[in-house]
Amino acid sequence: MSTWKALTGAQAVAEAMRQANPDVVAAYPITPQTPIVEQFASFVANGIVDTEMIPVESEHSAMSCTVGAAAAGARAMCATASQGLALMWEVVAAVPGLRLPIVMPIVNRALSAPINIHCDHSDAMGATTIGWIQIYSENAQEAYENTLLAIRLAEHKDVLLPVMVMQDGFIISHGVENVEVFDDEAVKNFVGERKPDRYLLDVDHPYTIGPLALPDYYFEIKRQQEAAMENALKVYLEVGKELSKISGHDYPYFEEYKTEDAEAVIVILSSAAGTAKDAVDELRNEGKKVGLVKPKLFRPFPYREMRKALEKFKAIGVLDRSMAFGAYAPLYTEVRNALFESENRPKLQSYIFGLGGKDIFKSDIKKVFDELLSGNLNPEEQRYIRLRG
Amino acid sequence: MKEVYEVRMHARAGQGAKSGSQLLAEAAFKEGKWIQSFPEYGSERRGAPTVSYTRISDKRLRTHEPIVNPDAVLVFDPGLARTIDVTSGLSEESGILIVNTTDSVDEVKKQTGFNGKVYTLDATGISLDLLHIDAPNVPMLGALIKVTGIVKLESLEEVIKEHFLEKLGEEKVNKNIEGLKRAYEEVSK
Query: Whole-angstrom Cα distance, residue A271 to residue B126?
Result: 39
Q: From chain A, pick out residues whose CB is under 8 angstroms from the CB of B62.
A: 139, 274-275, 277-278
pLDDT on residue B44: 67
Closest CA to A168 of B59, B65, B16: B65
Contacts of residue A34, Cβ cutoff 8 Å, sequence gap at least 6: A10
Closest CA to B68 of A357, A284, A389, A360: A360
pLDDT on residue B1: 58
Domain interval for residue B65: 4-186
One-letter identity of residue A358: K
Query: Whole-angstrom Cα distance, residue A147 to residue A165?
Result: 6
Q: Do A359 and B29 touch (CB under 8 A)?
A: no
Quick: pLDDT tens for A287-344: 999 999 999 999 999 999 999 999 999 999 999 999 999 999 999 999 999 999 999 9
Mean pLDDT of A364-380: 97
Query: Whole-angstrom Cα distance, residue A202 to residue A291?
Result: 52
Distance of CA A249 to the CA centre of its chain: 17
Of residues B36, B41, B68, nearest to A117 (C-beta) = B41
Q: Do B38 and A168 touch (CB under 8 A)?
A: no
Q: Do A360 and B65 touch (CB under 8 A)?
A: yes
The beta-strand segments (E) located in A56-162 are 76-77, 103-108, 133-136
Give residue B2's pLDDT band: very low, low, confident or very high (50, 70, 90): confident
For residue B141, what is the domain's CATH number? 3.40.920.10
Closest CA to A28 of A88, A69, A73, A76: A88
pLDDT on residue B43: 64
pLDDT on residue A389: 85
Quick: pLDDT tens for B15-31: 999 999 999 999 999 99
Q: What CATH code is assigned to A3-183+223-247?
A: 3.40.50.970
Q: Give, as one character, the DSSP assignment of residue B41.
A: P
In order, the DSSP letters of A279-341 are: HHHHHHHTT--EEEEEESEEES--HHHHHHHHTT-SEEEEEESS--SSS--HHHHHHHHHHTT
> What's the whole-number average pLDDT of chain A?
97
Please check whether residue B61 touches A, CB under 8 A: yes
pLDDT on residue A258: 98
Quick: pLDDT tens for A32-80: 999 999 999 999 999 999 999 999 999 999 999 999 999 999 999 999 9
Distance of CA B56 to the CA centre of its chain: 13
Query: Whole-angstrom Cα distance, residue A196 to residue A199?
Result: 6
CB neighbours of residue B163 within 10 Å = 16
CB neighbours of residue A379 within 10 Å = 15
Quick: pLDDT tens for A221-270: 999 999 999 999 999 999 999 999 999 999 999 999 999 999 999 999 99
Q: From chain A, pick out residues whose CB is under 8 angstroms from the CB of B65.
A: 275, 359-362
Quick: pLDDT tens for A187-224: 999 999 999 999 999 999 999 999 999 999 999 999 99
Q: From chain A, pick out residues whose CB is under 8 angstroms from the CB of B41.
A: 117-118, 170, 174
Please check whether residue B64 touches A, CB under 8 A: yes
Quick: pLDDT tens for B78-96: 999 999 999 999 999 999 9
Q: How many domains does chain B have?
A: 1
Distance from CA of B60 to the nearest CA of A (A): 9
Fold agreement between A3-183+223-247 and A254-384: yes
pLDDT on residue B47: 85
CA torsion angle A139 A80 A117 A8 (round to 10):
30
Query: ipTM of this model?
Result: 0.94
- Let me know if domain A254-384 sits in CATH 3.40.50.300: no
Contacts of residue B75, Cβ cutoff 8 Å, sequence gap at least 6: B9, B10, B11, B81, B86, B97, B98, B99, B100
Query: Whole-angstrom Cα distance, residue B43 to residue B1?
Result: 36
